[in-house]
Structure formats: C-alpha cells, structure tokens
Amino acid sequence: MPRGKAPIADVTGRVRLEDGERFYKITIVPDDGGEEVVYDKLSKRQRLRVFKHEDGSERVLSDGDHVEVGQQLMEGSADPHEVLRVQGPREVQIHLVREVQEVYRAQGVSIHDKHIEVIVRQMLRRVTIIDSGSTEFLPGSLIDRAEFEAENRRVVAEGGEPAAGRPVLMGITKASLATDSWLSAASFQETTRVLTDAAINCRSDKLNGLKENVIIGKLIPAGTGINRYRNIQVQPTEEARAAAYTIPSYEDQYYSPDFGQATGAAVPLDDYGYSDYR
C-alpha cells in the first residue's frame, strides 16, 4: 500500500464537495441513480487532484464536477488493491506498469514494458475461491489462475456449475513464496520455513517450472525441452525412404562410360610458375 494513499472514484457521477476546517468530505452521486459513495475525513494536507474537466480546462476537483469510475480524487498514489477492486485486473496491470515506468523514467532509465509485465503477471496469477460450485476447490483457498480456468472449463463441459473466484494482487515476495514448487520457493526467501513446511506436509515437487529444473540440473521445460517436443518421433515418408536407400545401378553417373577414362600421363609440374604465390 503506497504512502499518501489517494482515494479513487468507485462510480461515475457528480461530486459534492464539503470543505471543513481540517478535512474534506467528498460525496459522489452516481449517474445511474444508485447509492451515494461518501469519502470522509480526507486530510487537507493531501491536496485535491488537478485533472482535465469537461470544458477542457485543467483545475482542482471542485463541487459539481463530473468524475469517471477509477478517477483519482486526491494527490498521491492510488492503492493498487483499490484499483483492482474497482476496475479489475486489466486496469491494475496497466496502473502498476505505468507507476513503475514513472520511477525509471524520472532517473533517465529506459526499460521496455514487457520486463515489468512479466512480474505483474506473476503478482496476479492467484484467485481466491468465493463459491466452489461443482468443483473440488475449497472456499477461501488460493488457486492458480490457469488451474482455476481449466477446472471450470472441465466442469462446464460436464454440465456442472463453475466455481466463482476473485483475483488477488500479491506482493513480489508473497507471490514468489506462493508457488506450487517448494524448490523454487526455498531458493528465494525463508528457506528454513519453506523446507520445514514441505517436509511436515510431505509435499512433492512436479518440476513444472524453469527454476526448479535448473536447481536439480534437468533440462528446462522451454523450447525443445517441452515434453511434447522431446517425445516427438519423426517418421520419413515413403519417397524420402526410397531416395535415402536407393542402390546405384550401372546406368548411374558413377558407372557411366566416361568414368575412369584418364590417360595416366604425368603432369608437367615444371611448366607451372609459382612466382605469383610468393
């Protein structure tokens, strides 16, 4: 959670701003006529956000202004967990990449978005189960997103009810330790705790990732190391097999009438000059 957390608009609507002695109170009246959203006790030390209004001018947030969902109301940094709750996984991914890039660019460092996106993807790879449906997931458990989606597809194909889940944003350390591989987790941090937990629970490592295969010296499951490539056997076609194992006949060029018709005379080496090669 960033220091100086700034609130964001939960809904799209009109702002009703109350200026107190020490605090602001912001109320958003939704355009769809829903329940009003109230933000109490917003310190005046944290100034109101400057943004572009409907008339094209840029000024601080004031009473009667129209705001969009997810729009920042005060100066500071928006809480990524709030962005995830209000706008969803895609918007929080964009938000995190943008915030990290601002830090690097302020120091004159140019870095491609894809390097940050790899880390952000790992931070959002877990889902909290809300309703298990027809699956075997337990409510409240953390499940890998790929496993969650695969199990839901299987259940729906069989005519069952899919599970309901909520995406979870984890920090880098927690995301690294939450991996299914205890070898990978133990090589990062809290080695003693991870190994002790794996021993107590008799956990086994399926060696599906890159790091755990590197640790034990196995071929990594990437590129030609993926199982579906390693188990492929290429069978030649009948034409290729016939061309590879054809026995030459006397009509081939190797046994043509011109084969071996040299005179056998000595080569006059004295007639060649070697001055150009010195």
**Ranges of each domain in the chain:** 5-78, 86-123, 179-230
Average pLDDT over residues 49-68: 83
Least confident stretch, 64-78, 196-210, 246-260? 246-260
The pLDDT of residue 227: 72
What's the CATH code, domain 179-230?
Answer: 1.10.150.390
Distance from chain centroid for Cα 211: 16
pLDDT band per the 50, 70, 90 thresholds, residue 120:
very high
**What's the pLDDT tens digit per position in 16-37?**
999 888 899 999 999 988 899 9
Q: Which of 120, 6, 161 is nearest to 70 (CA)?
A: 6
Report the alpha-carbon distance of residue 270 to residue 73 in Å, rounded: 98
The pLDDT of residue 277: 52
Average pLDDT over residues 64-79: 90
The pLDDT of residue 88: 93
The pLDDT of residue 5: 84
The pLDDT of residue 257: 56
Same fold across 5-78 and 179-230: no
Asked if pLDDT for residue 213 goes beyond 80, the answer is: yes
Report the alpha-carbon distance of residue 209 to residue 179 in Å, rounded: 10
pLDDT band per the 50, 70, 90 thresholds, residue 253:
low
pLDDT band per the 50, 70, 90 thresholds, residue 233:
confident
The pLDDT of residue 261: 56
Burial of 270 (0-12, 13-18, 19+ CB in 10 A): exposed
Average pLDDT over residues 99-104: 94
Better-scored residue on pLDDT, 157 or 262? 157
Using the structure block, give the residue that is written with the tokens 């984890």: 170
Eight-state DSSP code of residue 63: T
Tell whether domain 5-78 is in CATH 3.40.50.720.
no
Chain mean pLDDT for the chain? 85
